[in-house]
Structure 1
Amino acid sequence: MNTKAISRNLYILYTLAHLKKKANIRGTFLGYLWWIIEPMMLIALYSYVVGMIFGHRGVDQILMIAIGVTLWKWWSSSLSTATTSFRRYKGIVCQVKMPLPILPTSEVFGESYMFCFAYLLLQTVLLFLGYIPDVFALVLTFAITMVSVSALSLFLAMLNVFVRDTAFLVGFGLRILFYITPIIYPASRVPESFRFLIELNPFAHLIGFYNNALIYTDKVNYTNMLYALFVSSLALFILNRVCRRITPQIIRNV
């Protein structure tokens, strides 16, 4: 792919992501604030459940819930919208000559716009409480997130073209994944017999990377992070190649 084609694809990606951002707030009274209000309400709810009912209290626990809930809002919104992107943009898929992987990826970038507002508030609170992030680890974790979520979004978008129940299964699966991901409880409280669920859950690893980069900076493991970036990049590369190869089938079935 030449430089001109890459520039054109990046421009298309930016345009679609920007339109996604504007569509998210169109017709709403509070606009971007909803991306802050909703996570804050969930953080308050889960902190109450964990603190008052299960007896797990402390600033670190509340901050981990805040980080996890904010991230989960980002990931779940990205995956939900990306899964139906090929069908929702049927006119573009069938009429515009462009790499199809751009469509689900643009949904991830569009949700990332909104995530930044909630993250800035979260980071302000962390700095106020004296938590200085490991900036390099944070940037690396963000890169891992963008690549891995884009890869999963592309896979789900392709699957949804041929298996129309995928969108419903994603919604149901995300609810289950939330509770088997150490967000409202620490991973250390998971019984040994069920630890394999965390090891197989990519979101659990991402949560751990963010917690370490933002709170437990002494636990940052760059080797694991670089390995995760390599695996997620390889997965995205393979899925891009597969998508390009089956583009005619996608156009026929969308």
Structure 2
Amino acid sequence: MLRNLWRYRYFILASIRAEMKGRFARSRLGGLWFLLNPLAQALIFSIVLSQVLRARLPDTDVDAAYPIYLLSGLAAWTLFSEILGRSTTIFIEQASVMKKISFPRLCLPVIVWGSALTGHVLLVAAILVVFLFFGHFPGWSILAVPLGIVLISAFAFGLGIILGVLNVFVRDIGQVVAIVLQLWFWLTPIVYPPGIVPESFRWLVEMNPMAPLVGIYQDALLYDRWPQPEALAVPALLAAAAVVFAFALFRRASPELVDAL
């Protein structure tokens, strides 16, 4: 499968470029939409919640601490949810193409991954510009962000392929994923700091593999802290296991994908 992906690398790159261009075709603002959507969410949450939560953000005296915390978490979550959500439905969406053209089917989630990663890099760059307007710029710990990108995208990519294959045979999977992602978002410390979670529910945050992955962004971009290796051990293992299992499942199910579609 990896050999086939390498043979079709130009097809994958061309598809990513075409998707990025098509996303903003006839749009006057173009790539600015990468920034405007998360900024709109951050503005809404900040207006509603910042007055309540500002004093509860620990270990920082930054005036715009809450918007920075929120934007950092939203950036990490957007990468995860886009790869996972789109990979879950990509085989169904491209059913007609899969029936007419012969190419490695694994190219489709790889194109999703590449497109999401390209958009995410642009989003992070735009957010850093916004931080300058807040009078805040991260220190050397910003170099930890690429580690977060790798772990989050690998975890989402593996889960996305698994759920995407299952969704071909059981169409309810796509509907369930949309609901689970909403619940998962609120179980991840993005809108709130983990310290305010009641003791009786704190175990949900501790068992959530996305919590330390989102924390990489928040620690690096707001607190100027490096991630703790022991906190990332379990998410890294889960990401690796998801990718390995996804490839095994895809290899087993790929001969039947087109027939099921």
TM range (shorter): 0.7 to 0.9
Work out the CA distance in 1 between the residues paired with 2:77 and 2:2: 36
* Cα distance in 2 for residues equivalent to 1:206 and 1:22: 30
- Give 5+ residue unaligned stretches, structure 1: none
Per the alignment, residue 56 of structure 1 pairs with 54
**Corresponding position: 1:20 with 2:25:** no
* 3-state DSSP of counterpart to 2:244: helix
Verify the 8 A CA contact 2:155 2:243 in the aligned structure 1. yes
Does 228-237 or 93-102 show the bigger shift? 93-102
Deviation at 1:2, TM superposition (A): 7.9
Contact 1:133 / 1:215 at 8 angstroms: preserved in 2?
no
Contact 2:24 2:30 survives alignment (8 Å): yes
Q: Confirm whether residue 7 of structure 1 aligns to residue 22 of structure 2.
A: no
- Over residues 80-110 of structure 1, what are the superposed CA-to-partner deviations in whole Å (9 max), with x where a residue is unaligned? 2221110111134334444433312321221
| Residue 185 (structure 2) pairs with residue 187 (structure 1) | no
Equivalent position SS for 1:195 = helix
CA contact (8 A) 1:140 1:225 kept: no
Deviates most, 94-103 or 184-193 = 94-103
Identity of paired residues, percent? 25
SS of the aligned residue for 2:54 comes to coil
- Check conservation: 1:79, 1:149, Cα contact below 8 A: yes
**2:128 touches 2:137 (CA, 8 Å); kept in 1?**
no
- CA-based RMSD of the aligned residues comes to 2.3
> Which range moved further: 126-135 or 142-151?
126-135
Per-residue deviation, 1:133:
4.1
TM-score of the aligned structures, taking structure 2 as reference length: 0.85
CA contact (8 A) 1:133 1:214 kept: no
1:158 matches 2:165: yes
- Corresponding position of 1:93: 98
Q: How many residues align?
A: 252
Task: Give the corresponding residue for 1:205.
Answer: 212
Contact 2:80/2:153 (<8 A) preserved: no
| Cα distance between partner residues in 2 of 1:64 and 1:240 | 35
Match of 2:58 in 1: none
Deviation at 1:219, TM superposition (A): 4.7
Gaps of 5+ in 2: 56-62
- After superposition, what is the alpha-carbon deviation per residue over 1:99-146, rounded to whole angstroms, capped at 9, x for unaligned? 433312321221222222221121234465142142442221111122
Q: Which of the residues 69, 78, 87 maps onto 1:82?
A: 87
CA distance in 2, matches of 1:227, 1:133: 25
TM-score (ref. length: structure 1) = 0.87
8 Å Cα contact 2:157-2:243 kept in structure 1: yes
